[in-house]
């Protein structure tokens, strides 16, 4: 691990030491201001000090906070040692094996990820599946069909490991001999891959408990990791709706929505998603994205 990668972990990872890492906005501010002001390679190769930060325009409280985060070397060493015992490895935005597809998120790409399982799955061709926790029979059949097709056509299935659509598709994919990346909103210590075909992924800290905001924020990772994203079922609110609507606005991946006649899926199709019907879903490779119209609903404002 390079010094720059360690620095990013120190600034952006939660290390179970009670210190809150920088938010994405604060990291952007630091990168655009203080770090950009270091003038020589020699400056960049030495530890950044509170005096450096003050000299480059940071406020005193912010400079002190950054310096305190960078002074967590022992905490980081201990944190990564426990992670290694559990088979968990860190990936930062500076790592050569950071998932390339996540870079399409731009400023929303996580600075720090943790992976348990085969990290090589993150670079293989993949499709994503999202959907409601309470599935109708036809929604269940759709999710199962996507999982089976992913395995058959050589795609890694990316989903969120939640009850309902996620697990239905994941279980079908694994049963058909495929591989799964599950982006989870809780601690990786609770998710141990046992079959060699599953990887669990989370951001910011591998030990963090389940929280509603983490469940919502992980949706962008699911949508971005897939070459295309399929929606098994959606209401007009909730995580599936919010993640899919934002994908349409920001263009993270082509969105294909199960045309089951429900208001939620119908609304996403009206907003520009491609409609897919269960009875004609015979190949994931054959799904061709529609050209989104330039409307306020799918423009990133």
For 119-131, the pLDDT digits (tens) are 999 999 999 999 9
Confidence band of 32 (pLDDT split at 50, 70, 90): low
Chosen domain end from 60, 85, 110: 85
In a domain, residue 20? The reply is: yes
For residue 300, the SS3 value is coil
- Give the chain's domain count: 2
* Bridging pattern class, strands 126-130 and 229-231: parallel
Report the candidate in 194, 231, 238 with the shortest Cα–Cα distance to residue 216.
Answer: 238
Res 296: pLDDT: 45
**182 and 54, same domain (yes or no):** no
In a domain, residue 229? The reply is: yes
Res 295: pLDDT: 45
Contact 13, 21 (CB under 8 A): yes
Res 39: pLDDT: 41
Q: Model confidence over 241-295: pLDDT tens digits?
A: 999 999 999 999 999 999 999 899 999 999 999 999 999 999 999 998 765 444 4
Res 119: pLDDT: 93
Q: What is the pTM of this model?
A: 0.89
- Please give the structure tokens belonging to residue 237: 């609110």
Q: Model confidence over 177-194: pLDDT tens digits?
A: 999 999 999 999 999 897
**151 and 201, same domain (yes or no):** yes
**59 and 204, same domain (yes or no):** no
Residues of the domain holding 25: 3-85
């Amino acid at each position: 691990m390079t010094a720059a990668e360690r620095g990013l972990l120190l600034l952006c990872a939660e290390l179970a030491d009670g210190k809150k890492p920088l938010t994405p906005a604060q990291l952007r501010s630091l990168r655009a201001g203080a770090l950009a002001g270091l003038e020589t390679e020699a400056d960049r190769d030495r530890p950044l000090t509170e005096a450096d930060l003050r000299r480059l325009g940071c406020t005193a409280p912010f400079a002190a906070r950054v310096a305190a985060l960078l002074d967590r070397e022992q905490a980081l060493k201990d944190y990564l040692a426990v992670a290694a015992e559990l088979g968990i490895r860190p990936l930062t935005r500076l790592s050569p094996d950071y998932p390339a597809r996540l870079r399409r998120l731009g400023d929303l790409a996580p600075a720090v990820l943790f992976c348990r399982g085969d990290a090589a799955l993150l670079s293989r061709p993949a499709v994503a599946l999202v959907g409601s926790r309470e599935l109708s029979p036809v929604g269940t059949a759709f999710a199962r069909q996507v999982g089976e097709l992913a395995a058959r056509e050589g795609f890694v299935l990316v989903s969120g490991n939640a009850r309902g659509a996620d697990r239905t598709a994941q279980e079908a994919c694994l049963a058909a001999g495929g591989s799964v990346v599950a982006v989870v909103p809780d601690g990786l210590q609770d998710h141990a891959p046992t079959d060699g075909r599953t990887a669990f992924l989370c951001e910011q800290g591998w030990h963090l408990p389940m929280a509603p905001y983490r469940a919502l924020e992980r949706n962008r990772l699911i949508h971005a990791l897939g070459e295309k994203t399929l929606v098994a079922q959606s209401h007009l609110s909730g995580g599936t709706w919010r993640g899919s609507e934002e994908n349409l606005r920001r263009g993270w991946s082509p969105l294909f929505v199960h045309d089951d006649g429900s208001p939620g899926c119908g609304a996403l199709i009206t907003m520009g998603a491609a409609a897919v019907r269960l009875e004609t879903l015979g190949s994931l490779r054959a799904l061709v994205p529609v050209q989104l119209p330039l409307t306020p609903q799918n423009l990133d404002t």
